């Protein structure tokens, strides 16, 4: 009896330990997206669903492609590789994410589809201000491997709640971009840390990991087998065997697989699975004949980058100190000296890992890793051991991980930043749900020394065939300069501590805001933007407000916060949303605005059940927003450029009166002696002025262009970009201009307006919008002229309906007889040659919007108009 109780007890204890292990083992990512691109079919691989990419509204355009030719070189479970999404114009996938470090995995399997020859595919991929691939030909990359497909893995610290991956085809005829499958998944916060040993310098130092992107070059299970994603402790990485990297004949011995790995609390199981720590390569144990050698592994890498190297150790053979003491060399320099693993942990079979940074600025493009017994250590055996390793490339000072620089003429990297994340959500976004593109990544915060990482977790490695891209040649930016730059920085600096200068808005205490929003009750959330959530609230005095609460972890949001306070506290206008106050206590960044009962204009145009607005209401909204923008441009001493005009940034109050909102990206206009502001391109795709995009010179006319898109959106009740439409229709600006130039704009107006609009009012409106959308900013009217013309269009409409109500036959009526101001603003300056050129260009675009890459005007046009993040 006693025996049985004891047995039960020990089973219970075992179970408890077991369940503890299981608990620790499975990492559950907060975000996990697996997309089977370009298809409407889900694919299931090892029990994981790869979702079709339309359903979640991740992508706004591109051409779905698939092949029925099976390839015997692809894994049997590679179903998700047989479809792809092809991009002939710059395009982006957008995801709503939890801020934090994420894995980004891209799978490429080139196949012929219709007229798309994979030999012609040439493109770049950017994300979050980093270049992941530049001018890459997947076919070219695959030639250097024995594989039929390529996997690329990156690790990026995403600061906002929106993440976009941009595919940009090369500027060459017939070139296109494609992707077969895409995976985005949160990484554990502590899997990477901010210190590592700089090879050749000994002590661990901090590097500034948060601002760094990594590309996995290799992830190796030394002495073991391939570990597939499904067997990788929840992290979905792939580990490959080391046999193809080991140098020479002296390959040591592989001890038996030890399943009994005991993870200490300092090493979570997601650092590496048992199958990695439980296998190893050693020098040969006590049977070793000639101990005078090193075990050497060689990894081809790209020169002119630094590499973050993580080595995994676990003493799975010996049990006592002083039995195995060895050195680790990276690139012929001592990285660790006199390592006795058992001195680093409390018992045998316990994992231990160490992180290094190895700059590879010149010379050999192969990373050398060696282990060998420490000379004269007094250890019992001349021995060394290694269980696993990961090698990641660190982005260079230009934010690039690509082997070659971006092609000349490429738009600035900083313009490939996420927009705020709310656009595609069905939540109605009220105030400033979109903060817009964040500024370039904030400066490195920590770091005294050099590029040292600390316990980062590993990136992924491609299987032998999935090698990372062989580097072509060029270098972009020297590590040395980065290093010296980084070494100048010190201190972590809190961005919240310095209050924006010059603030005019009222300070509102955090306590009052807590009360106003019922402790930031989730049920009061009006919308979510890149800056953070927007809540409905009520202040002590009963004022209804919208409270925009910055995400304290998003340092990039601070610039927008400051800009918005500074601008809005100076500006008061009936058609600008007003800032009631702000709060900057407890590291919070909170802005408080008037509550706009009817929310964003877009919701009244399409995509919701809200009642449709009639033409007069729409015109009044256009006029109100034009007034607001006109005031911005001319009312303040120096003029202010909004930079993010779009239908989600025009809010409607309880009387449907329009108010322009969201000034986070706004810029003070050029001073008198200059004609423009030079700045990185920001704004929302689909609304972006092609000239601004091309020349990066900002003027008020960029807002005029965006406003032209807004006018068309109001008239046609469809998004600026609608990827589900045929290619020539997808971009509203192109499509509407095409019909306008044919004089048939009425063909594409909101069906609910049919029969309501007086044709002269429509003509005036169409001309106004067309002028706003002129390719050259100089051909566009000033906001004041736009306003004037819209008022004229309203007058035409009202006169006609008056006449209608007094039973006059409208059609017989000659509009010229109506006494109205002369139509002068629209007919000045560039009228002469403008329309003709435009007609030609616009027809070209309409015919083939997405393949015109022959000149730089069209690439920018296509880029600015087709790439869309409407959801921001």
Ligand X SMILES: *[C@@H]1O[C@H](CO)[C@@H](O)[C@H](O)[C@H]1NC(C)=O
Give the footprint of ligand X on this chain (CB under 6 A): 40, 42, 46, 49, 51-52, 55, 112, 117-119, 122, 129, 135, 137, 140, 171, 211-212, 228, 230-231, 292-294, 329, 331-332, 363-364, 368, 370, 372, 394-397, 399, 404, 407, 409, 441, 444, 451, 482, 856, 859
Q: Please identify, using beta-carbon distances, which residue of 257 and 520 lies nearer to ligand X.
A: 257
Could you tell me which of 319, 412, 327 has the C-alpha nearest to residue 370? 327
The DSSP 8-state label assigned to residue 855 in this structure reads S
Name the phi and psi angles at 155, rounded to 5: -125, 120
Could you tell me which of 338, 344, 347 has the C-alpha nearest to residue 320? 347
Could you tell me which of 276, 259, 269, 263 has the C-alpha nearest to residue 223? 276
Q: Please identify, using beta-carbon distances, which residue of 409 and 751 lies nearer to ligand X.
A: 409
CB of 191 to ligand X, least distance (A): 19
Q: Please identify, using beta-carbon distances, which residue of 369 and 571 lies nearer to ligand X.
A: 369
The closest residue (CB) to ligand X is 409
In the three-class reduction of DSSP (H, G, I as helix; E, B as strand; rest coil), residue 566 is classed as helix
The DSSP 8-state label assigned to residue 663 in this structure reads -
Q: Please identify, using beta-carbon distances, which residue of 370 and 517 lies nearer to ligand X.
A: 370
The DSSP 8-state label assigned to residue 176 in this structure reads B
CB of 517 to ligand X, least distance (A): 33
Q: Please identify, using beta-carbon distances, which residue of 69 and 346 lies nearer to ligand X.
A: 69
CB of 136 to ligand X, least distance (A): 8
Q: Could you give the strand order of the β-sheet that contains 63-66, starting from the edge strand earlier in sequence?
A: 63-66, 83-87, 177-179
CB of 558 to ligand X, least distance (A): 16
Paired tokens of 843: 């027809």
The crossing angle, in degrees rounded to 10, of helices 700-716 and 783-805 is 30
The DSSP 8-state label assigned to residue 835 in this structure reads H
Task: Extract the runs of DSSP E, i.e. beta strands, from 414-531.
Answer: 506-507, 525-528
Residue 689 appears among annotated catalytic residues: no
Residues 6+ apart with CB under 8 A from 293: 250, 283, 372
- Dist CA 128 CA 159 (whole Å): 9
Please list the alpha-helical segments (H only) found in 489-589: 510-516, 557-570
Q: Please identify, using beta-carbon distances, which residue of 110 and 581 lies nearer to ligand X.
A: 110
Q: Please identify, using beta-carbon distances, which residue of 7 and 49 lies nearer to ligand X.
A: 49
| Cα dihedral sign, 679-164-608-538 | negative
CB of 331 to ligand X, least distance (A): 4
Could you tell me which of 455, 194, 175 has the C-alpha nearest to residue 309? 455
Q: 819-837: b or e for each residue (b if 16 or more CB lie within 10 Å)?
A: eeeeeebbeeebeeebbee
CA 36 to chain CA centroid, Å, is 19
Q: Please identify, using beta-carbon distances, which residue of 407 and 835 lies nearer to ligand X.
A: 407
Q: Provide the 10 A C-beta neighbour count for residue 310.
A: 26
Q: Please identify, using beta-carbon distances, which residue of 263 and 450 lies nearer to ligand X.
A: 450
Residues 6+ apart with CB under 8 A from 115: none
CB of 448 to ligand X, least distance (A): 14
CB 528 within 8 A of CB 429: yes
CB of 95 to ligand X, least distance (A): 15
CB of 49 to ligand X, least distance (A): 5
Q: Exactly one of 31, 53, 594, 644 is catalytic; which is it?
A: 644
Please name every residue paired with 107 in a beta bridge, in sequence order, or none if there are none. Answer: 151, 181
- Dist CA 345 CA 341 (whole Å): 7
Q: Please identify, using beta-carbon distances, which residue of 249 and 822 lies nearer to ligand X.
A: 249
Could you tell me which of 70, 74, 103, 91 has the C-alpha nearest to residue 215? 103
Could you tell me which of 770, 791, 792 has the C-alpha nearest to residue 781? 770
CB of 603 to ligand X, least distance (A): 25
Could you tell me which of 284, 300, 291, 283 has the C-alpha nearest to residue 245? 300
Active centre residues (catalytic): 644
């Amino acid at each position: 009896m006693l025996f049985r109780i004891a047995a039960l007890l020990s089973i219970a204890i075992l179970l408890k330990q077991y369940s503890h292990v299981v608990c620790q083992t499975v990492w559950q990512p907060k975000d996990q997206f697996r997309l089977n691109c370009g298809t409407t079919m889900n694919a299931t691989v090892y029990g994981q669903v790869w979702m079709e990419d339309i359903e979640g509204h991740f992508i706004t355009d591109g051409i779905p492609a698939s092949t029925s030719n099976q390839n015997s070189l692809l894994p049997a479970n590679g179903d998700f590789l047989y479809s792809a999404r092809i991009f002939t114009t710059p395009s982006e996938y957008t995801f709503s994410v939890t801020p934090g470090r994420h894995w980004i995995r891209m799978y490429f399997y080139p196949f012929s589809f219709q007229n798309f020859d994979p030999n012609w595919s040439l493109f770049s991929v950017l994300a979050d201000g980093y270049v992941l691939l530049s001018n890459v030909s997947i076919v070219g990359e695959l030639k250097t491997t024995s594989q039929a497909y390529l996997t690329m893995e990156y690790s990026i610290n995403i600061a906002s709640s929106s993440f976009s991956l941009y595919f940009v085809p090369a500027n060459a005829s017939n070139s296109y971009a494609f992707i077969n499958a895409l995976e985005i998944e949160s990484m554990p916060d502590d899997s990477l840390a901010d210190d590592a040993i700089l090879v050749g310098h000994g002590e661990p130092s901090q590097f500034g990991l948060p601002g760094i992107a990594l590309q996995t070059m290799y992830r190796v299970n030394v002495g073991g087998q391939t570990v597939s994603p499904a067997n990788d402790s929840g992290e979905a990485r792939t580990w490959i065997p080391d046999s193809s990297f080991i140098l020479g004949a002296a390959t040591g011995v592989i001890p038996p697989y030890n399943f009994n790995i005991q993870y200490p609390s300092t090493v979570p199981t997601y650092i590496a699975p048992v199958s990695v720590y439980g296998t190893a390569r050693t020098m040969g144990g006590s049977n070793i004949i000639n101990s005078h050698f090193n075990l050497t592994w060689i990894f081809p890498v790209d020169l002119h980058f630094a590499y973050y190297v993580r080595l995994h150790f676990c003493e799975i053979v010996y049990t006592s100190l002083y039995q195995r003491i060895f050195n680790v060399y990276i690139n012929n320099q001592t990285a660790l000296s006199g390592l006795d693993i058992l001195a680093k942990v409390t018992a045998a079979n316990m994992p231990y890992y160490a992180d290094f940074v190895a700059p590879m600025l010149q010379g050999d493009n192969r990373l050398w890793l060696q282990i060998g017994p420490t000379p004269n250590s007094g250890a019992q055996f001349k021995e060394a051991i290694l269980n696993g390793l990961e090698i990641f490339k660190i982005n260079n000072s230009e934010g690039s991980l690509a082997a070659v620089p971006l092609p000349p003429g490429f738009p600035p990297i900083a313009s490939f930043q996420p927009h705020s994340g709310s656009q595609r959500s069905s939540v109605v976004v009220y105030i400033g749900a979109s903060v817009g593109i964040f500024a370039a990544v904030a400066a490195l915060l920590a770091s005294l020394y050099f590029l040292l990482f600390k316990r980062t977790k590993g990136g992924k490695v491609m299987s032998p065939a999935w090698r990372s891209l062989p580097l072509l040649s060029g270098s972009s930016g020297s590590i040395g300069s980065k290093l010296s730059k980084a070494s100048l920085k010190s201190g972590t600096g809190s961005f919240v501590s310095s209050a924006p200068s010059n603030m005019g808005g009222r300070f509102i205490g955090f306590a009052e805001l807590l009360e106003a929003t019922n402790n930031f009750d989730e049920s009061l959330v009006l919308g979510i933007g890149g800056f953070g959530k927007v809540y409905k609230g009520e202040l002590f005095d009963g004022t209804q407000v919208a409270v925009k609460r910055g995400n304290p972890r998003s340092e990039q949001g601070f610039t927008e916060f400051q800009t918005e306070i500074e601008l809005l506290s100076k500006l008061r206008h009936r058609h600008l949303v007003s800032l009631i106050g702000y709060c900057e206590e407890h590291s919070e960044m909170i802005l408080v605005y008037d509550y706009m009962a009817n929310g964003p204009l877009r919701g009244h145009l399409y995509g919701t059940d809200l009642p449709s607005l009639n033409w007069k209401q729409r015109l009044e909204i256009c006029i109100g927003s034009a007034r607001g923008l006109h005031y911005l441009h001319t009312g303040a001493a120096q003029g202010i450029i909004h930079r993010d005009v779009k239908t989600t940034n025009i809010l409607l109050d309880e009387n449907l009166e329009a108010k322009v909102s969201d000034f986070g990206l706004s810029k003070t206009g050029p001073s008198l002696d200059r004609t423009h502001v030079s700045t990185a391109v920001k704004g929302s795709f689909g609304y972006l002025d092609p000239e601004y995009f091309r020349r990066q010179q900002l003027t008020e006319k960029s807002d005029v262009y965006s406003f032209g898109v807004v006018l068309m959106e109001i008239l046609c009740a469809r998004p600026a970009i609608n990827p589900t439409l045929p290619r020539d229709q997808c971009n509203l600006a192109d499509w509407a201009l095409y019909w306008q130039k044919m004089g048939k704009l009425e063909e594409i107006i909101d069906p609910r307006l049919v029969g309501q609009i007086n044709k002269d009012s429509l003509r005036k409106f169409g001309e106004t919008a067309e002028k706003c959308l002129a390719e050259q900013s100089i051909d566009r009217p000033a906001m004041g002229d736009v306003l004037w013309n819209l008022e004229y269009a309203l007058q035409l409409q009202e006169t006609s309906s008056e006449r209608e109500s007094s039973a006059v036959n409208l059609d017989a009526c000659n509009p010229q007889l109506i006494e109205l101001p002369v139509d002068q603003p629209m007919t000045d300056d560039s009228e002469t040659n403008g329309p003709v050129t435009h007609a030609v260009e616009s027809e070209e675009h309409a015919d083939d919007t997405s393949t015109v890459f022959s000149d730089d005007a069209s690439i920018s046009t296509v880029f600015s108009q087709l790439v869309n993040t409407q959801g921001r």
